[in-house]
Structure 1
Amino acid sequence: MPAKLIRSRAHNVAIVFTFSAFAYVVTGNAAAANVPLPDGCEMAGKSKPAATPSAAVEPVFPPVQIQVRTPIHPTVLPSAGRNYLIYELHLQNFTTEPMTLRGIEILDADQPTASPVADLKEAQLSASLRQVTIGDDAGNIRRLGVGQSAVAFMCLAFEDKVPVPSRLRHRVLFDKTVADGPVIETHTTPLQVLGRPLVGTNWTPGNSPSLHSHHRMGLWVVDGDARISRRYAIDWKKYDINGKTYAGDARDVHAYYAYGQKVLAVADGKVISARDGFPDNVPKTEAAFELARPVTLETIGGNQIVIDVGNGQFAAYYHLQPGSVRVKTGDHVRRGQLLARIGNSGDARWPHLHFQVTDKADVLASEGLPQLFDSYRMKAANQAWETRTGEYPMGDVVIDFGPDIRDK
């Protein structure tokens, strides 16, 4: 299939991809100042020839009965001048004895004798690992009992000048053996360059990927499949210069800076789902949290809009303000169009916009996909504002999407 080009001419951003050999180009961005790595991310480097020949892992029969799989292969994701790979390794012990993990080596699959691009030791592995089934030693997170499963939540970060391998292989180290996983691709998902979902400044990309994010760690079994629909989801919250999200009564949704803010279409597309009529929750405080309606698979997103933005991808907006949804199922929308306003409906503690891109039009029965925003200003800590183009914002930063020039 010939290469397809998604380009934002105004901001000099180009994303180039093919379905047989994915390549990407992001122009005009230098590394951002003082943006720390998300919790759980490891710096990765270029593979180099080993100083001494690597000891070959001799094939054995039967093969080591450890399953190593990656349900959704990652795609290189630029953010603040680095390139990230965010994905999961599902591990399951099919042997007849318990196995203790000692490390994971991440290898460039096209340079099998080179040194690893990253190497997770025991402490790093313990931090990123989550047990799925209960083993015979629940106190040791790295011990896989017979039949037990675990998921390693992987995040690799490459500095902007360091090439990212097009294919990776994982070598999982145990006490007495080694299990090699299959080759995975690193340019799997066509990256959408999206417009801004919001207007104005002082927005934070809350719960973006890290080991502290319930989005990133939110592995759910829905319709029989274990999926992470919120892998790249962002909870957009608005703060003042003092780091407060509201002024006045914390139990009044109208006191929150995010409440009632305009929500925009990030791309042209067709509305797959539009729901309104769910009431706002009373915001959570130390005293209490009052849900307007019990949380179910039907109510979790509250008032919501899901748009088909092409390439098998769906942009979803959740927790919208009651009575604010301005589109209906089947409508065609244009990028930048006013869709609704931020509320506190569904499974929301405080007013914010939950935004995500997925491979299906469902809040949980889908896989979360990476995406880029064409342009925004960003600052970290006490640094100056920087204009970022064709990136995905994450971490402890402040985002400015610019004013509402249409004033609708």
Structure 2
Amino acid sequence: MTEQFTPILMSVPTTPGWFTGSDGSVHLVYEVALLNAFPVDVTLQKLEVLDGSAVIATLEGDALSAAWSLQPLGVPRPDALPPSTAGVIWMDVVLDEPGDVPDTVDHRLTVSVPPGLPVPEQITSTGGATTAAPTAAVVISPPLEGDGWFAIGSCCDGPHRRAFQPIDNGQYLAQRFAIDFNRLSADDRLATGDPSLNESWPTYDQPVLAVADATVIRAADEFPDQVPDAPEPVTIDEADGNYVILELSDGVFAFYAHLKPGSVDVRVGDTVTAGQEIARTGNSGSSTGPHLHFQVMDRPSALVANGLPYVFDRFDVVGRGPALADLPTADPQGVAITIDTSTAGSRTDELPLGRDILDFAG
């Protein structure tokens, strides 16, 4: 066997999971952890995802630049990975159908190093082999009802996708598939009055529903609402605000956050049925405005857990709204959201993607 230097060490921290999205495609989602073991900057040039010898996805150029970042999060990504530095490539491998999900995946990475070293200036190596999840995403009912629900953050490019949390000497991504739901008014506005009042936001004080027959594992109802766009700092214990965690099955938990004070209508040990109202939407905890944060995970903790893929058994897509960065947050009551209706239609057993605007049956 020929040995070679591999400047970037690759690994996959958690088993890749997959779901069918509202675009009709299958998304295989996971992270490739990077560690630069060379004493120089190393430039990433191309990453290929391998199913055996077949290349099923390729990231290079702008697509690769957009898909990786340094760790810890918040550090701006340079053009190259500095020495003794960790990075992450945030993978979203898009496939045609569930039968295309490979049993295992491997990765072929091409990098370049500065001249003058006793190695080639371009090096291609293979690593980060892993198995994929053998089963499909859990099927649940929607956590909300009614029309005009805007999935402002969802997989696989929303604000939660890259939210690795360093806690208790470990690193966790419980929010990998999290969605932030905001409701639009009848004329497609985020707010309809004074935006400093929670009551001016159509999202506020809406029923929050159990997504399955389940048991309440944890719940809190002790935190005040924040003032929209003027939140007070919170501790890690207060970040979720008022919340509920349901155990759906062994190793599968649903999490609801930022609920309205005084609205949590369940207690630890209660059993609930799918569609039962368990709370109301609010703006508590680490939140800049009324919304429902929802995710599914493998442990009963909003942070110290691994995010699991899920799909809703039924919903309608009205269309797609603008990206988060383009939302009219400075004047949410004065500007209507522009909706592209080309994607409209009914969906079954799919996950809404970021920017989808949804109708949920009552």
TM-score by length of 2: 0.85
Question: Of 162, 165, 183, which residue of structure 1 is paired with 2:102?
Answer: 165
1:177-215 deviation line (CA, Å, top 9, x unaligned)? 22211322232565211012111111011211244x220
1:8 match: none
Query: Contact 2:153–2:355 at 8 Å: present in 1 too?
Result: no
Work out the CA distance in 2 between the residues paired with 1:400 and 1:159. 25
The structural deviation recorded for 1:372 is 1.1
Q: Counterpart of 2:64 in 1: which secondary structure?
A: helix
* 1:11-160 equivalences in 2 (<5 Å): 59-60=2-3, 64=6, 66-80=8-22, 81-109=24-52, 112=53, 114=54, 116-132=55-71, 141-160=78-97
Q: Does 1:304 align with 2:243?
A: yes
Query: Contact 1:324–1:340 at 8 Å: present in 2 too?
Result: yes
Q: Cα RMSD (Å) of the superposition?
A: 2.2
Q: Counterpart of 1:125 in 2: which secondary structure?
A: helix
* 1:1-400 equivalences in 2 (<5 Å): 59-60=2-3, 64=6, 66-80=8-22, 81-109=24-52, 112=53, 114=54, 116-132=55-71, 141-160=78-97, 163-175=100-112, 176-188=122-134, 191-211=137-157, 213-284=158-229, 289-291=230-232, 294-380=233-319, 381-383=340-342, 385-400=344-359
User: 155-164 or 325-334, which moves further after superposition?
Assistant: 155-164
Work out the CA distance in 2 between the residues paired with 1:308 and 1:141. 41
1:338-365 deviation line (CA, Å, top 9, x unaligned)? 1000011001111111001111111212
Work out the CA distance in 2 between the residues paired with 1:376 and 1:119. 32
Work out the CA distance in 2 between the residues paired with 1:141 and 1:237. 34
TM-score by length of 1: 0.76
Query: Contact 2:37–2:83 at 8 Å: present in 1 too?
Result: yes
1:108-167 deviation line (CA, Å, top 9, x unaligned)? 12xx2x3x2121113221111111269xxx987342333211111111212349833332
**Structure 2: unaligned runs, 5 residues or longer:** 113-121, 320-339
Number of residue pairs aligned between Structure 1 and Structure 2: 331
1:18 match: none
Work out the CA distance in 2 between the residues paired with 1:269 and 1:252. 34
Describe the shift of the 1:282–1:330 C-alpha distance in structure 2 as closer, same or farther (beyond 3 A): same
Describe the shift of the 1:150–1:182 C-alpha distance in structure 2 as closer, same or farther (beyond 3 A): closer
Query: Contact 1:189–1:370 at 8 Å: present in 2 too?
Result: no
Which amino acid is 2:144 matched to?
Answer: L
Which structure has greater strand proportion? 2
Which amino acid is 1:348 matched to?
Answer: S
Work out the CA distance in 2 between the residues paired with 1:373 and 1:64. 42
